[in-house]
Amino acid sequence: MEGNRAVLYLRLSKEDIDKVNRGDDSASIKNQRLLLTDYALAHKFKIIKVYSDDDESGLYDNRPDFEKMMMDAKLGQFDIIIAKTQSRFSRNMEHIEKYLHHDLPNLGIRFIGVVDGVDTDNEDNKKSRQINGLVNEWYCEDLSKNIRSSFRAKMKNGQFLGSSCPYGYKKDPGNHNHLVIDEYAAQVVKRIYQLYLSGYGKTKIGAILSSEGVQIPTLYKREVLGEKYHNSREIETTKTWSYQTIHTILNNETYLGHLIQNKVNTVSYKDKKKKILPRERWIIVKNTHDPIIEQEVFDTVQRLQKSRTRSVGSMEANGVFSGIVYCADCKHAMSRKYARRGEKGFTGYICKTYKTQGKRFCESHSVDIEDLEEAVLCSIKSEAKKILREEEIDELKKMRVCGENKNYDEIQLESIQRRMEKVEKLKRKTYDSYMEDLISKEEYIKYRSDYDNEIRELRRQQHVMNDKINFGQERAVRSDGWTKDFKNYMNIKKLTRDVALELIEKIEVSSDGSLTIYYRFQNPNES
């Protein structure tokens, strides 16, 4: 019968698990299911599906079964959602307003909280729902503050709180907050330091270990130590030692016997995104466990890394852009990248945050040196032409200059718009195909997710192009000095470090490889 198709939503979080372990199992998944089933039967609702999220916080809406439930809601597969309480559904006030007071009513779906009497069909309890939402959110905020405070106190007391130990150590069986040496892995760490002191580069050290069949830390922790270890930077097919892994080991102060914690933190209790903290906010407690590397050896390795970096930079003609290439998202200066094989050496720049911290903190922004040089030369020529007075352009129009880019941004923006319209059409066609049983539900969900991701990326590109167009239209009149100087760059053939520093404030590299060049003659407020 239409109108009584009900689904049950169950959720258990870490704070609930603590209660269950103390003997109060009223919040358990099993008891939630029994409670909601009894309620549905008593009210003659037909249960067509049960969604269950175990060990998931109610602050976020990217819970696996919650997302499936909301997708099925949009497909009209049920009429009622039944949960134990409103807080089981969400502890985030923004989500309460979004789902209970907007999305679900628009879809004609009713929400019922059995224990707290929440019912979206009853307009009289809307205010109480909103008050409950605030109370639930305050509870999460206070809980987060208490947990963070407790964690900081334990860190300052020299207790290790990481889920997985640094390679070379394992947790003390008698005290899981204390590190003890893993003899096999510790020998590998020592060998890495010895090889580096012997003159081997980080990539070469990785190749040596890989050729000898030494397991990379991720596989060693899983297959030998039996840990359920997840590495956010891991590539499934990778079983060889990488440059980054060797670099991390050579710079890890934990091997000196010190605990270094609180290096990253979440933006807020409502946001899972991590941010890197400055060193002055790290919690460092010395001499908490046995060292693997002596202080003198560690210090020598640090000095060698700096000296080798300088020597490489002095030999590279491509030091032209050092210190002026930045990531467009995290705003950090980009690091040099090198060829892993062959004799090419320095190949360009890559986001330092991504290189050292992984994709949780930033995307893999990178640019090859040849592409960077070509783009900057082309841009300088183009800018030289733009800022010359009209009579000077007439005098110099016969000179060979970089290809005309006058309408490139507008053309690119139109192309992005056309693609967005096409993807929207494809998205609608996919829904029609699903409703006509031409594709399965799993295929529909995958296609829709892919289209949504592409639309988000296109919107980001659209925003960037609009900013560039507005920037160009609003550009102020340059000084006579810059006009005179730029005459010399109308037909520039070779970019030097002096020219780059004279003209360019900074270059930002976006995740799609596009560049934004900020010239020194531009108003800083326009950047």
DSSP 116-142: TTEETT-GGGHHHHHHHHHHHHHHHHH
Edge-to-edge strand ranges of the sheet holding 515-519 = 325-327, 504-509, 515-519
pLDDT at site 10 = 93
Contact in structure between 262 and 280 (CB atoms under 8 Å): no
Least confident of 153-167, 208-222, 332-346, 459-473: 459-473
Average pLDDT on 251-259 reads 92
Average pLDDT on 311-317 reads 44
pLDDT at site 298 = 92
527 versus 249: the higher-pLDDT residue is 249
User: Homologous superfamily of 5-152 in CATH?
Assistant: Resolvase, N-terminal catalytic domain (3.40.50.1390)
pLDDT at site 180 = 92
pLDDT at site 130 = 66
Q: Where are the domains of the chain?
A: 5-152, 169-298, 367-526
Class of domain 169-298 as given by CATH: alpha beta
- Residue type (1 letter), 494: K
- Residue type (1 letter), 389: R
For residue 517, the SS3 value is: strand
Residues with Cβ < 8 Å from 439, sequence gap 6 or more? 430, 433, 447
pLDDT at site 109 = 92
DSSP codes joined into one string, 231-264:
-TT--TT--S--HHHHHHHHT-GGGGT-EEE--E
pLDDT digits (tens, 9 = 90+) for 371-416: 888 888 888 877 776 665 444 545 544 443 443 444 445 666 776 7
Question: If you compute the radius of gyration of the chain from its CA atoms, what whole number of angstroms results?
Answer: 29
pLDDT digits (tens, 9 = 90+) for 171-206: 989 998 899 999 989 999 999 998 888 878 888 898
Pairing of strands 118-119, 271-276: unpaired
Cβ burial, residue 428 (10 Å; 0-12/13-18/19+): exposed
Token pair of 353 as six digits? 């945050």
pLDDT at site 149 = 72
Rounded Cα distance between 499 and 457, Å, is 35
pLDDT at site 398 = 43
